[in-house]
Amino acid sequence: MSLQAASGALPAAAPASLLRRLLGRPLAALALLWLSLVLIASLLARLIAPYDPLDQDLLAMRQGPTPAHWLGTDALGRDLLSRLLYGGLPALTGIVEALAVAGLLGVGIGVTAGFYRGRYDRLIVQAVDLVMSLPAIVVLLSILSIFHNSMFAAMISVGLLGSVGIIRVVRSATLAVGSELYIEAARIAGLSDFAIITRHVIARIAGTIIVQLSLFAAVVVLIQTGISFLGLGVPPPAPSWGGMIFDASSVLNNDAFMLVPPGVTVALTVLAFALIGDGLRDALAERWMQRGAGKVAAAGGTAVSLSGPRRAPDLEAVLSLRGLVIHAQGREQPLVNGLDFDLMAGETLGIVGESGSGKTLSVLATIGLLPSGTVVSSGQMLVAGKSYDLSDPRHLSVLRGKVLGMIFQEPMAALDPCFTIGTHLTEVLRARGGLSRGAARARAIELLREVKINDPEDVARRYPHQISGGMAQRVGIARALALRPLVLIADEPTTALDVTVQAEILDLMRGLAASSHMAMLLVTHDWGVVADICDRALVLYRGTCIETAPVAQIFSAPQHAYTAALLRANPHNALPGTELPTVADVWQQQALVP
């Protein structure tokens, strides 16, 4: 009772709309049309076929298409269209048989193995590996010689053999879903395994299952045709698609057209099966994939825009940015809207903002590495005495490494797992620094020592997965400094690290910046980090700079209400246990448009 009660709480999507969504996709609609056509024509072959498929007309042998025989005749004068229609049923029956076996076994075993893991799963994996290594066609030949020419036996075997492929995919999809937190939450909520499997796992991987089954159906068509091509399963003279291709092959020299009707029919059917899966998956996902429709803007949706006279680039600055505008492709609203800043020699400038403020995009734009789908619409950068147009990222690659070095938020993900730490450094030193192999090697060790790694020779030989996150960030810094850049850009460099490690990394960065008189551009959301290492801070809100000032001033006397609200929202500054002032309140109280 309670089960139904729960599902009643949800407004289920109307079942009819799935077909409509499917038909809304041209390729899927065509595939569905073709399959329905084949199905109906095969079922009605007796009624609609113009001739008996075995009738020989020795006066009309090997004719191409004629008004009497639309698709022509074969070497015995049999009507090709009629044979094609009659050949449809064994093919479709075979698909249904194989698909039923493979689907039941594949999904059943795959889901349970992935869900329960442990010994049962290991056993299944072994068995799957074993069957995967069977040369399927040879096994089928054995089956066909035992169950003499039984297409049914062959198709059941195809289903058995094919089920392992589906088990494999369904199992790994289930494994991935099984480690999701919502499965754990459902378990904690007291759902039974059966309920979790049907409601959460299968619902989540339905798309994968459908695509696998449809691809398998496509393969079954090919195998069924192949078996009848070999004269097994559907023994001649009974009509079959594969048999028709074999008939055509025996008269290849005289009449190649005979290859066309069965070949094209098979190909279109295979194609239709392959395509309909994709269509079904997408149509199913459409319901829950649509994004953001209900998203409430965090700050009352007021667009912030700052306009004023744009200052000329500061010639004293190491890096001077003017009028940076970044758009998502095809969107009107800019992600970064007219950002200016100057970074002075030896200075550390913090770019502070919450998610979606455009802080990371802004620094990525300076080295021309914006993610695909985002573009710089306009922006000028003055660095190392030269001016660069940021909307043309091709010219920016010369700056990378030599003028602007960069470190990233996920230090481990920033290293190529296939190469050693040493290689990461030497390849840069050799390619851009012009060092020889030996010199690069020595310099790499020196760099690792500079970032306070105790046993640099040992670390250089290791692969990324063999070092810790803090160590990986030190390596990242060493690589960024390899070519002695003027500016170090750090994108949330300590966010992924433990607080004790963060302190060490920040100490290291502060020390390196001071000793080499290097300027730093630090992107962060953490006001503690800003207070610790920055000289000046720039507060970004929705792509617009709302305030920039020396850190002492930002913290003691923030000019903008948003900055003040953010600082107040930090529990560090609140009395424990009290209600924290939230930023949304501020936007609501005073419709803040600077």
Partner 1 sequence: MIRLILHRLLVSIPLLLAVTLLTYVLDSFAPGDVAATLPQGQTSLKAYLALRHKLGLDQPVMQQYGHWLWRALHGDLGTSYFSGERVVNLLNQRLGVTLSIVVGVLIVCVSAGLLLGALSALRGGIVGRTIDILSIAGLAFPSFWVALILIEVFAVKLEWLPAIGYTSIFASPRLWLMSLVLPVLAVALHSITSIAKQTRDAMGEVMGRDFIRALRASGLSETSVIWKHGLRNAALPVVTVIGLVMISALGSTVFVERIFVLPGLGSLAVEAATNSDIALLQGATLYFTLIVIAINLAVDVSYGWLNPKVRT
Partner 2 sequence: MNDVAPLLTVKDLGVTYLLKGGRRFEALKGVNLSVAPGETVGLVGESGSGKTTIGRVILGQTRAQTGRIIFDGEDITHADRARRRALGRDIQVVFQDPYGSLNPVRSIGQTLAEPLLGEAGLTRAAVAARVADILHKVGMPADTASRYPAQFSGGQRQRIAIARAVIARPRLIICDEPVSALDLSVQAQVLNLLNQLQRDMGLSLLFISHDLTVVRHVSRRTIVLYRGEIVEEGATESLHENPQHAYTRALLAAAPIPDPARQRAHREQRRMGDLTWRPEP
Residues 333-372 that bind partner 2 (CB under 8 A): 354-355
* Cα gap 506→477, rounded to integer Å: 11
CB of residue 281 to partner 2, shortest distance in Å:
12
Question: Considering beta carbons, is residue 49 or 215 the nearer one to partner 1?
Answer: 215
Question: Considering beta carbons, is residue 157 or 357 the nearer one to partner 2?
Answer: 357
Residue 249 binds which entry of partner 2, partner 1, none, CB below 5-8 Å type-dependent: partner 1
Cα 168 off chain centre by: 20
- Out of 220, 435, 481, 583, which residue is the one contacting partner 2 (CB under 8 A)? 583
- Which of positions 154-183 make contact with partner 2 (CB under 8 A)? 180-183
Of 494, 482, 470, 364, the residue nearest 423 (C-alpha): 482
Task: Fill in the DSSP letter of residue 79.
Answer: B
Contact between 29 and partner 1 (CB under 8 A)? Answer: no
The mark string for 521-550 relative to partner 2 (x by CB under 8 A, - otherwise) is ----xxxxxxxx------------------
The mark string for 242-271 relative to partner 1 (x by CB under 8 A, - otherwise) is x--x--xx--xx--x--x---x--xxx-xx
**Buried/exposed code over 485-513 (b: 16+ C-beta within 10 A; e: otherwise):** bbbbbbbbbbebbeeebbebbbebbeebb
* Cα gap 72→64, rounded to integer Å: 4
- Which of positions 412-471 make contact with partner 1 (CB under 8 A)? 413-420, 424, 427-428, 431-432, 463, 465-466
Residue 476 binds which entry of partner 2, partner 1, none, CB below 5-8 Å type-dependent: partner 1
Dihedral Cα 34, 283, 214, 36, nearest 10 deg: -20
Question: Considering beta carbons, is residue 82 or 208 the nearer one to partner 2?
Answer: 208
Contact between 301 and partner 2 (CB under 8 A)? Answer: no
- Out of 47, 58, 296, 315, which residue is the one contacting partner 2 (CB under 8 A)? 296
What tokens were used for 297?
């803007």
Question: Considering beta carbons, is residue 490 or 539 the nearer one to partner 1?
Answer: 490
CB of residue 338 to partner 2, shortest distance in Å:
23
Identify the burial level of 531 via C-beta atoms within 10 angstroms of its C-beta, where 0-12 means exposed, 13-18 middle and 19 or more buried.
middle
- Which of positions 553-572 make contact with partner 2 (CB under 8 A)? 555, 565-567, 569-572
Residue 432 binds which entry of partner 1, partner 2, none, CB below 5-8 Å type-dependent: partner 1
Of 352, 393, 374, 390, the residue nearest 492 (C-alpha): 352
Question: Considering beta carbons, is residue 488 or 539 the nearer one to partner 1?
Answer: 488
Question: Considering beta carbons, is residue 439 or 567 the nearer one to partner 2?
Answer: 567
Is the separation of the CB atoms in 586 and 592 below 8 Å?
yes
| Angle of helix 136-146 versus helix 203-229 axis, rounded to 10 | 60
Tell me the H-state helices in 290-391: 359-366
Contact between 91 and partner 1 (CB under 8 A)? Answer: no
C-beta neighbour count of 102 within 10 angstroms: 27
Contact between 504 and partner 2 (CB under 8 A)? Answer: yes
CB of residue 349 to partner 2, shortest distance in Å:
14
* Cα gap 567→551, rounded to integer Å: 13
Question: Considering beta carbons, is residue 187 or 449 the nearer one to partner 2?
Answer: 187
What tokens were used for 528?
């503690």
* Cα gap 541→190, rounded to integer Å: 42
- Out of 100, 369, 557, 580, which residue is the one contacting partner 1 (CB under 8 A)? 369
CB of residue 520 to partner 2, shortest distance in Å:
16
Of 405, 377, 400, the residue nearest 389 (C-alpha): 377
Question: Considering beta carbons, is residue 146 or 499 the nearer one to partner 2?
Answer: 499
Residue 141 binds which entry of partner 2, partner 1, none, CB below 5-8 Å type-dependent: partner 1
Spatial strand order of the sheet with 404-407 comes to 404-407, 487-491, 519-524, 348-352, 536-541, 544-550
Contact between 133 and partner 1 (CB under 8 A)? Answer: yes
Stretches 113-121, 124-132, 493-501, 535-543: which one binds partner 1 (CB under 8 A)?
Answer: 124-132
- Out of 58, 138, 499, 591, which residue is the one contacting partner 2 (CB under 8 A)? 499
Tell me the three-class secondary structure of 54-73, residue by residue: CCCCCCCCCCCCCCCCCCCE
Residue 525 binds which entry of partner 1, partner 2, none, CB below 5-8 Å type-dependent: partner 2
Contact between 134 and partner 2 (CB under 8 A)? Answer: no
Residue 195 binds which entry of partner 2, partner 1, none, CB below 5-8 Å type-dependent: partner 2
Is the separation of the CB atoms in 438 and 453 below 8 Å?
no
- Which of positions 475-504 make contact with partner 1 (CB under 8 A)? 476, 479-480, 482-483
Q: How many CA atoms lie within 13 A of 553 on its CB side?
A: 11
Stretches 34-42, 95-103, 194-202, 339-347: which one binds partner 2 (CB under 8 A)?
Answer: 194-202
Give the containing element (helix H, strand E) for 3: helix 2-8
Residue 11 binds which entry of partner 2, partner 1, none, CB below 5-8 Å type-dependent: partner 2
**Buried/exposed code over 25-56 (b: 16+ C-beta within 10 A; e: otherwise):** beebebbbebbeebeebbeebeeebebebeeb
Contact between 8 and partner 2 (CB under 8 A)? Answer: yes
Of 504, 419, 409, the residue nearest 466 (C-alpha): 419
Question: Considering beta carbons, is residue 195 or 271 the nearer one to partner 2?
Answer: 195
- Which of positions 268-287 make contact with partner 1 (CB under 8 A)? 268, 270-271, 274
* Cα gap 403→366, rounded to integer Å: 11
Question: Considering beta carbons, is residue 207 or 239 the nearer one to partner 2?
Answer: 207
Cα separations (Å) of 142 from 100, 135, 139? 22, 11, 5
* Cα three-residue angle 436-397-316, rounded to 5 degrees: 105
- Which of positions 382-401 make contact with partner 1 (CB under 8 A)? 397, 400-401
Residue 498 binds which entry of partner 2, partner 1, none, CB below 5-8 Å type-dependent: partner 2
- Which of positions 143-162 make contact with partner 1 (CB under 8 A)? 143-146, 148
| Pairing, β 374-383 against β 336-343 | unpaired
How many residues touch partner 2 under the rule CB under 8 A: the total is 79
Question: Considering beta carbons, is residue 427 or 504 the nearer one to partner 2?
Answer: 504
* Cα gap 519→525, rounded to integer Å: 20
